[in-house]
């Protein structure tokens, strides 16, 4: 049996977990979420943007066709609605578990001016504080965090391009803890920045390489699961021990465990590009990867294999 991680955070990969209908494909996965019944929501860039499975990987339903041009982020709120971030559509949509749209933030298909600081220009992910306030990372064409009321009124924004505390170089993911602190995966600055609920910089977590996915389970002093997508430049593409990988840290950023990380690949102990991740009530980890996009960057002289994988499940051991 192949195991990954260490100590209390040791896992075994569950190969071929998801049972897709015949001829269906994820292509690649922008985000992934799990509800309070351990139903898994796979927000993907194939023909069926949202595909839902039960905990055993059985197909339940799909929706979102014709609505989401480029799936990016999933957040499952305490009321079990889904907040879906689409960076090509420049919108965040609140949806029911069956796909009914309840609220849309942003103007579909119309980005704010590049780096203008106004919402949104290729927004990336959504989080919610305990009081219901929303935080949206924005993103590829901005360097901002936007704070909204639960009904969609903009309260404030903070950030800007750069490397100083409170500045961002692709704020790629965002999450909140039970105390309302805000954690931002500042991807190309190789760090997670931590803020209070009003955007005041508190600290940062380093020793990461291009952190892309974030997930914190509910509760006080939670651990944080971080997907790191690894090197992309030709000069360091083959350097070992830079990822791609999944790192688990405590609420202070201290590393507890790490899955994968030596080099990219399709082995059971390897990742291609952990873009989004979540954890169910049993402690099992689900990882969505943007392998379709990442493959030609990582292996530029090799054609994409037929078995290119974009969804992983890791069962907690013990």
- Phi, psi at residue 224, to the nearest 5°? -125, 130
Q: Strand, helix or coil at 295?
A: helix
Residues in contact with 119: Cβ distance below 8 Å, sequence separation at least 6, in sequence order: 105, 106, 112, 136, 138, 142, 144, 146, 154, 157
The pLDDT of 269-284, averaged and rounded, is 97
How far apart are alpha carbons 49 and 86 in whole angstroms?
Answer: 11
State the residue for tokens 């391009």.
Answer: 161
Confidence band for 220, pLDDT divided at 50, 70 and 90:
confident
Q: Which of 29-38, 70-79, 294-303 is predicted least confidently?
A: 294-303
Long-range CB pairs of 224-228, under 8 A, 24+ apart, other chains included: 224/175, 224/183, 224/192, 224/248, 224/249, 224/250, 224/251, 224/253, 225/277, 225/278, 225/279, 225/285, 226/185, 226/192, 227/274, 227/275, 227/276, 227/277, 227/287, 228/261, 228/274
How far separated are the first and last CA of the chain, in Å rounded?
14
**What per-residue confidence (pLDDT) applies to 39?**
98
Q: Please determine, for residue 272, whether its predicted confidence score (pLDDT) is greater than 90.
A: yes
Peptide bond into 149 cis (omega under 30): no
Confidence band for 274, pLDDT divided at 50, 70 and 90:
very high
Q: How many residues are present in the chain?
A: 318
pTM of the model: 0.97
Q: Give the pLDDT confidence of 27-51 residue by residue, as tens digits.
A: 999 999 999 999 999 999 999 999 9
Per cent of the chain over pLDDT 90 is 94
Domains of the chain: 4-316 (2.120.10.30)
């Amino acid at each position: 049996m192949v195991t990954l991680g260490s100590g209390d955070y040791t896992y075994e990969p569950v190969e071929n977990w998801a049972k897709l209908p015949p001829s269906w494909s994820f292509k690649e996965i922008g985000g992934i979420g799990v509800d309070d019944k351990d139903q898994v929501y796979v927000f993907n860039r194939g023909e069926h943007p949202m595909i839902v499975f039960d905990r055993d990987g059985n197909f339940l339903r799909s929706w979102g066709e014709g609505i989401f041009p480029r799936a990016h982020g999933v957040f499952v709120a305490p009321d079990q609605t889904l907040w879906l971030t689409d960076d090509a559509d420049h919108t965040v949509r609140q949806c029911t578990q069956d796909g009914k749209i309840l609220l849309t933030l942003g103007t579909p298909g119309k980005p704010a001016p590049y780096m203008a600081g106004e919402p949104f220009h290729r927004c990336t992910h959504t989080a919610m504080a305990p009081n219901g306030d929303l935080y949206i990372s924005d993103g590829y064409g901005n360097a901002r965090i936007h704070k909204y009321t639960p009904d969609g009124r903009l309260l404030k924004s903070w950030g800007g391009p750069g490397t100083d505390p409170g500045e961002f170089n692709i704020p790629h993911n965002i999450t909140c803890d039970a105390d309302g602190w805000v954690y931002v995966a500042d991807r190309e600055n190789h760090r997670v920045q931590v803020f209070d609920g009003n955007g005041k910089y508190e600290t940062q977590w380093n020793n990461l390489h291009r952190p892309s996915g974030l997930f914190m389970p509910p509760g006080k002093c939670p651990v944080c699961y971080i997907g790191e997508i690894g090197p992309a430049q030709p000069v360091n593409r083959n350097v070992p021990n830079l990822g791609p990988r999944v790192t688990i840290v405590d609420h202070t950023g201290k590393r507890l465990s790490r899955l994968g990380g030596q080099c990219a690949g399709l082995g059971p102990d390897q990742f291609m590009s952990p873009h989004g991740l979540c954890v169910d009530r049993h402690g099992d980890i689900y990882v969505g990867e943007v392998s379709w996009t990442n493959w030609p960057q990582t292996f530029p002289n090799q054609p994409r294999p037929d078995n290119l994988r974009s969804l992983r499940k890791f069962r907690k051991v013990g």
